[in-house]
Structure 1
């Protein structure tokens, strides 16, 4: 049941990219940190300190700012339109730069500094992660259009986006796991969140032109909201008594499952 809940959560995140711009969906991922902290407080008896509570409050305030001032989703009628966005010169330059940097990190930096410099693994999974979000969003929009009656399954662009999404997801998770295995999760999580979210916002602004037609005040408000969320995230991780790896993901799921089993046996 708990595994099903995690799967449903990821599917909901995927659906969110169908209807909202990445500049809105991605920063709101910080809300999962609040949920994790609250669950750890009640189920694992990890004390949520005053500064941790303040961090949760900052995440909520920052998320509210982002929601209130985020740009609307542009109306797309086919996957070919998304392909035009993906093949525009500005995004091709971003794509080429991203691939070049990843190759340097993989071929030169990882063998030499991978075990000592945290930015090597985080840089790889953050850059690839920004491409993951772009491709996942394209696939999500293609699915939405297909459900609405305009089938996109016959377009080769749809399957290109699917293959890119699968490749990026596998690569991103691989190097994120390496970062978590090599360095303290308390350090990895906020750095990864900050870099991944920043690159995703930047990539989405280039590819989907999220800021087109937006006033300067709205853009500044969203960026300020992201900074507030980031501050809250850093505060939460810095005040936790235990390594977050022990209170999130499978560890937390296993603990809840054990509690459920004990309840059935009693």
Structure 2
């Protein structure tokens, strides 16, 4: 299948987004270490000296640029193409951490990186073309079709059940509760982001969509979903090991996002069975590579208790909705005395 101009634009923006976001972790971590060395108080124990560190702010600006590029990418390319490419930011972060922060990348982690790259190439080659949209009202018709309304209703019902029934009972013992809420809401976030991004794109092209109530409705949905995700993903990251939360969240979020996009935007309509199967295979390869990469990072962390300490690279999920953008491990490496005192602490 030939590439459309919009698909090429979306892929380029998604790749730039992954590069900027992955690099932002390393820049911010360098800033955190420099601030901790200057003040003697690390961010992980309540220090805020990093707010005066220019390198940390450079990392924040880099991350914002990456997020903006990702937002615009959804306005040009299907979600089934853009969303899986987000895994590449983990690779950028892991590789840069290996060379700049001297956080050793395990051989299996390297294999995970290669799997993510290979899966992404397969997805890009077989991705569907973006459907031409001329008005936000067209998106509204897609969003109000019975099949997608059924999906939205199911997501909202499941989120309410998880929040009000399971969260008080087992939210702090079962990682699936908080990550499930984030993933379900995340799929609606991407759909509304794509709708809003397309509306703004049409507006900049001279077809003003801000005069329509639907544009502002999608903006409200984006804000609501993002706030919900921020809340519950922060809870998940604060309660469970990041190396556990990150792959689970990425798998669930990406799977649900692709499902929602296929239902709402009919991404797979007109595609052959072979192309759809290839996309699914590429997606599975990316997921497998992501899990493998995070698993080896967890292995490196566990190994640190027997000698050298290798901090975790920040995760894709952590950079999305973790307050100031720092994961719980995005700080200066703890001393050997601190490691000894934590040795008996369960995760």
Query: Do Structure 1 and Structure 2 share a fold, with TM-score over 0.5?
Result: yes
- Which structure has the bigger radius of gyration? 2
Residue 250 of structure 1, aligned match among 326, 329, 332 = 326
* Structure 1: stretches of 5+ with no match in the other structure: 256-266
Give RMSD over aligned pairs: 1.6
SS at match of 1:6: helix
Shift of 1:45: 1.1
**Structure 2 unmatched runs, 5+:** 1-57, 303-309, 315-324, 333-347
Query: What does 1:152-191 correspond to in 2, within 5 Å?
Result: 152-191=209-248
Match of 1:23 in 2: 80
Residue 196 (structure 1) aligned with residue 272 (structure 2): no
Equivalent residues, number: 255
Cα deviations by residue, 1:155-194 (Å, 9 ceiling, x for unpaired)? 0000000000010011112111111110001011001000
Secondary structure of the 2:301 match is coil
Q: Note the C-alpha offset of 1:247.
A: 3.1
Question: Does the CA-based 8 Å contact 2:103-2:311 persist in structure 1?
Answer: no
Structure 2 residue 203 is matched with structure 1 residue 146: yes
1:48-63 alignment runs, 5 A limit: 48-63=105-120
Match of 1:262 in 2: none
| Cα deviations by residue, 1:101-123 (Å, 9 ceiling, x for unpaired) | 00000010000010101100011
1:130 aligns with 2:130: no
Aligned to 1:261: none
**Does residue 119 of the first structure (1) align with residue 119 of the second (2)?**
no
TM-score (norm: length of structure 2): 0.71
Cα distance, 1:40 vs structure 2? 1.4
**d(CA) in 2 for partners of 1:143 and 1:110?**
37
Offset, 1:49: 1.3
Q: Which has the higher contact order (CA 8 A, sep 6+)?
A: 1
Match of 1:260 in 2: none
Asked whether 1:239 is paired with 2:305, we answer no
* Distance in 2, Cα, partners of 1:110 & 1:254: 29
* 1:11-33 deviation line (CA, Å, top 9, x unaligned): 00001000000000001111011
Shift of 1:150: 0.3
Partner-residue secondary structure (3-state), 1:77: coil
Structure 2 Cα separation of the partners of residues 73 and 178 of structure 1: 36
- 1:47 aligns to what SS in structure 2? coil
Q: CA deviation at 1:254?
A: 7.1
Please report how far the alpha carbon of residue 127 of structure 1 lies from its aligned counterpart in structure 2 after TM superposition: 0.2
- Is 1:35 equivalent to 2:111 in the alignment? no
Q: Equivalent residue for 1:9? A: 66
d(CA) in 1 for partners of 2:311, 2:188: 26
Name the SS for the 1:242 alignment partner: helix
State which of 89, 97, 104 in structure 2 corresponds to 1:47.
104
Kindly indicate which of the two structures has a greater share of residues assigned to helix.
Answer: 1
